[in-house]
Structure formats: structure tokens, C-alpha cells
Amino acid sequence: MPGIRRRMIIVVLLALSLVAGGWWLVRPPKTTTVRAQLLAPSATGDTGFMRVDQPLPLHFPQDEGPHPAYKTEWWYYTGNLETADGRHFGYQLTFFRSALTPVGLESSPTPSSWRSNQVYMAHFAITDVTGKQYYAFQRLSRGAAGLAGAQGAPYRVWLEDWLAKADNPGQVHLFARQEDAGRAGEIGPPEDIVELDLQLHSRKATAFHGQEGYSRKGANPGNASMYYSDTRIDTQGSIQIGTDKFAVTGSSWMDHEFGTSYLGPGSIGWDWFSLQLSDGREVMFFQIRRKDGSIDPFSSGSLVEADGTVQPLAVQDVQIAVLDNWTSPHSGGKYPARWRLSIPAYQLNLEVTPYAPDQELNLGFTYWEGASTVTDASGRLTGQGYVELTGYAESFEGRF
């Protein structure tokens, strides 16, 4: 019975293949990335923190270090550097400290060395004028377990391997390095290294702004910070970009500022100028812009003479005219791009021009910090410096 045998074979084969096929269909579960949204109330605000509402006596070297009871603090290094053959670089290395909660919180009986209410953030930027490139990186860490922190004696501010450290008195070592210079979370090619390694030596005495360092920025006495600068710092060292290492020299500027709620209500940002002139003088001026377009009357600055004397500048002492604009392709913010700064009392008619238009940092917050060159209308003076523009891409009201 060939017919029946054939059918039987077919059925048996079918059955067996069904059984076998069923077995083979076992597939390991596909693992995916675990994704979730964090749901929590946001806790920001500045109640409970100490405020700078009057001049505070500063003692050094301790006060070079942090002031944890105040909400905000930074150590701000900027500078203009050049190689032997005239290749120009600008750099910025800023260490920010932020207190999450006022001091005096509940602690458990055996506190871990990882516990802290201080958070550190650092910005590292390089402007490569010749190469027409701008690099900006951010790091974030807790101020505990030795991962990030600051101290006055000996002076050291660090976040992981970025640091500003006094090796010897008067000599500060700045170091910052970024290995995969891609955006956060992505891995760029490992050859993309940007590194800064500088030795700083301040030539002048520290300049205290405002009233012995009590620098007001708004009507409320608490809208202020303690603010001092080293305005003329000889700098030498190296900058590495990719596989190229450049030996550079130049001049840097350091700001140390701390306080709580610098800006008063209604203030949306500021323009800040730090200019080093060829006659040995420096100018620092900030104007605070208000929501209605006006300038806050507490905008102020300082002119530091060649011998270090600090001359205060009030808002009426300085006229700033915007000569050009630049719109950021990244954030859409419309920034001023060239200024005329007139300080008649000191016969200064300065034109400030950024070395490159795009020196915008799009990091935790968006602002513009650019190396700039200075010329004086009289032609006798030149200079260089840094301009900082905040509040153009997003309002800074309530953030500082």
C-alpha cells in the first residue's frame, strides 16, 4: 500500500517537524535598556543660606578656600595666551561650588564620607583663534570623598583631575584635561584630547571690588557677593589640542566670588568685562540688565592702577555702546558682538572686539565667555581680556 505509506510518512514527518520546530522556537528574552523617568519635587531656592549683606572681613589664606554656608561660589580663571609664533588662544577654567541645603542638616550616627550638601561644577573652555575652534566642557561632582572640593591653606580647588593648586606660595598650577571631547554621554574618538597645563604667577596685589570686597548687584543689601580678583597674572605652560601640544605664554585674570542670590528680582543677566591694558592698568566692569531693558543702578566696576590702587567705577562712570550683534546658531540667543566702552574720567575710549564670535558655552547653563582684544581710540593703548555675557539665551533671574 504505497499510497498509505507515503501519507503516513508525511504525517509523521509533519508531526516530528512540528515538535522539533516548537522546540526551536524557544528564544531568549530580548534585553533592552532600562528606561525610566525621575519623578520628584524640585528643591531650589535660597532660604536659610547666609547672605552677604555687608562687608565681611576676609582672612587669608583661609578665605581663598570655600564658604559653605553661602549658596554660590566660584573660582574663575580666564586668560589670553600665545605661542612663540603668534598663535593666539583664550582659556577659561572655572570651578563653581553650590550648596544644596543650608548648613546644619540632620546626620545619621555614622556618617559616610560620601555625604555632603556641596556640589561642585567646573567649566573648561579653550578658544583656538587660528584654528577657528572653540571647545567647552563641563564636569559635575559631589564635594565629598575627595572627589571635588576646595581649601585655602594650602590653596587647592579641584574637581576630579581638574585643579587650581598653589604648589608654592604665589604660584598656582592650573590643569584641566578632557579625553573624549565629544558631547556628554557620547564617546568621541580617544585622540580628541584637549588639555590645559599652566603655571600662574600674580604680578599685582589682590584687588577687592566694591566696598572692601562687598560688591552689590541689586537694591537689596543681600543681593551682593564678596568679590576680589587677581587682575594681572603672568602665565606660561602648554595647551594640547588633539595630538598637537603648544607652548604658550600670556596673561590671566582670576576672580573669586561668593554669596547668595546675587541678582535681585527683575534682573535677567549681566555683561562683565575684564580688560588688561598695555599701560599696566586693568578695568573690570559689570552691568546688570533688567527685564525692562534698563541697566541696574548697582552695576559697577573697578579700575586698577598700575601700582594696584583700586578705583571704583559707578554705573554713571562708564558708557557702553553695542557696535555689533551675533546670533548663536546653537541656542538662538542674540548676543552683542562688539562694544565701545567709554570711561571719560580716565580718558579711556576702548573698543572691545572678541577674537571669535562663537565662544558660547552650552552646558549646565548657557552663556557667552569670550577672549577679546582691546583698542583705544587714541591709538596709544591696546589690551586684551575676557567678556562674559549671561542672560541672552535664557534668563538668569533667580539662578545666581
Partner 1 sequence: MSWHLVRMSLRHLWRRPLQSALLVLGVALGVAVVIAIDLANVSARRAFSLSTESVTGKATQQIVSGPGGLDDALYTRLRVDLGLTKAAPIVEGYVAGGREPAQGAGLSLHLLGVDPFAEAPFRNYLVGNQEVPIGELVRFLVQPGTVIMSRGMAQQYGLALGDPLQIRVAGGTKTVILVALLDPSDDLSRQALDGLMLSDVATAQEILGKLGKLDRIDLIIPDSATGQEQLARISAILPGGARLETPATRSSAISQMTDAFTLNLTALSLLALVIGMFLIYNTVTFSVVQRRQIIGTLRCLGVTQGQIFAMIILEAAGLSALGSLIGVGLGIFLGQGTVALVTRTINDLYFVINVRQLAIEPFTLLKGAILGIGAALLAAVPPALEATLVSPVGALRRSNLEEGTLRRLPWVTLGGVLLSGAGAALLLFSGRALLPGFVGIFAVILGFAAFTPALTVWLMRLATPGLGRIAGVLGRMASRDVINSLSRTAVAVAALMVAVSVTIGVSIMVSSFRLTVEHWLDYTLRADVYISTPGGTSTPDNSGLDTTLAMQIAEVPGVRTVDTYRSVVAGSTVGPVNLTAIESKVPRSSQVYAYAVAGSEESWQKVREGGVLVSESFAYRHSIPYRPGANLTLYTDQGAHTFPIIGVVYDYGSDQGVVLMGLGVYRQYYQDPGVTSLAVYRQEGQDLTALVQNLRQHLAGQQLQIQPNAVLRQQALRVFDRTFAITSALRLLAILVAFIGVLSALLSLQLERSRELGVLRAIGLTVGQMWRLILLETGLMGLVAGLLAVPTGLTLATILVYIINRRSFGWSIQLQAAPEFFVQAVAIAVIAAVIAGIYPSLRLGKMAPALALRQE
Partner 2 sequence: MQPQNVSQHNSQSLPDDHIPPDIIRLEQLSKYYEEGGRTRAILHAVDARFAVGEFVVLLGKSGSGKSTLLNLVSGIDLPSHGTVWVNGTLLTRLSERERTLFRRRTMGFIFQAFNLIPTLTVVENVTLPLELIGQDGRESHRRAMELLDAVGLADRGNSFPDRLSGGEQQRVAIARALVHNPILVLADEPTGNLDEETSGTVLELLDTLTRRAGKNLLMATHSYEVIGRADRVFHIHDAQLMEEPLSAAGKPWPEAIAPGQLVIPENGSSVIGKGLVQ
Q: Please list the residues that pair with 175 across neighbouring strands.
A: 163, 197
23 lies in the binding site for partner 1 (CB under 8 A): yes
Range in contact with partner 2 (rule: CB under 8 A) among 1-9, 246-254, 331-339, 383-391: 1-9
The answer to the question of residue 170 lying near partner 2 (CB under 8 A) is no
The nearer residue to partner 2, 3 or 111, going by C-beta atoms, is 3
**Do 169 and 189 form a contact (C-beta atoms < 8 A)?**
no
Cα 389-299-271 angle, rounded to 5 deg:
5
Smallest separation (angstroms) from partner 1 to the CB of 89: 21
Number of residues that bind partner 1 (CB under 8 A): 71
Dmax (CA) for the chain in angstroms is: 121
- Name the residue with cell 581638574: 162
Please tell me the distance from the alpha carbon of residue 352 to that of residue 342, in angstroms, as a whole number: 11
247 binds, among partner 1, partner 2, none (CB under 5 to 8 A by kind): none
Q: Which three cell numbers stand for residue 339?
A: 562694544
What are the DSSP calls for 139-160, one per residue?
Answer: EEEES-TTSEEEETTTTEEEET
Q: Which is nearer to partner 1, 145 or 323 (CB)?
A: 145
In this chain, which of 187, 323, 345, 377 binds partner 1, going by CB under 8 A? 187
For partner 2, give the closer residue by CB, 4 or 40.
4
C-beta of 66: minimal distance to partner 1 in Å? 17
Minimum CB–partner distance for residue 8 and partner 2 (Å): 14
Given the complex with partner 2, which of 4 and 34 has the nearer CB atom? 4
Residue 44's binding partner among partner 2, partner 1, none (Cβ under 5 to 8 angstroms by kind) is partner 1
CA–CA distance, 175 with 234 (Å, rounded to integer): 16
Among residue numbers 2 through 31, which ones bind partner 2 (CB under 8 A)? 2-3
| 41 interacts with partner 2 by CB under 8 A | no
User: Are the beta carbons of 306 and 320 closer than 8 angstroms?
Assistant: no
The whole-angstrom separation of Cα 165 and Cα 329 is: 36
Nearest approach in angstroms of CB 11 to partner 2 is 17
Q: In angstroms, how far is CA 29 from the centroid of its own chain? A: 45
Least distance in angstroms from the C-beta of 9 to partner 2: 16
Q: Which is nearer to partner 1, 202 or 362 (CB)?
A: 362
- Segment holding 257, helix H or strand E: strand 244-260
Residue 190 near partner 1 by CB under 8 A: yes
Partner interacting with residue 60 (select from partner 1, partner 2, none; CB below 5-8 Å by kind): none
Angle at 204 between CA 173 and CA 382, to 5 degrees: 100
Instruction: For residue 218, give the C-alpha cell.
Output: 541689586
- Is residue 169 a contact point for partner 1 (CB under 8 A)? no
Contacts of 137 (CB under 8 A, 6+ apart): 123, 124, 125, 178, 181, 194, 363
| Residue 147 binding: pick among partner 1, partner 2, none (C-beta 5-8 Å cut-off by kind) | partner 1
All three cell numbers of 275, joined, read 580688560
A 10 A CB-CB count for 353 gives 16
Q: Does position 42 bind partner 1 by CB under 8 A?
A: yes
The residue with cell 546644619 is: 104
Measured CA to CA, the distance from residue 329 to residue 177 in angstroms comes to 26
Applying CB under 8 A, among 1, 43, 84, 184 the residue interacting with partner 2 is 1
Supply the minimum distance, in Å, between the C-beta of residue 106 and partner 1.
Answer: 7
Say which entry of partner 2, partner 1, none residue 2 contacts (CB below 5 to 8 A, set by partner kind): partner 2
Residues 92-121 that bind partner 1 (CB under 8 A): 98, 100-101, 105-108, 110-117, 119
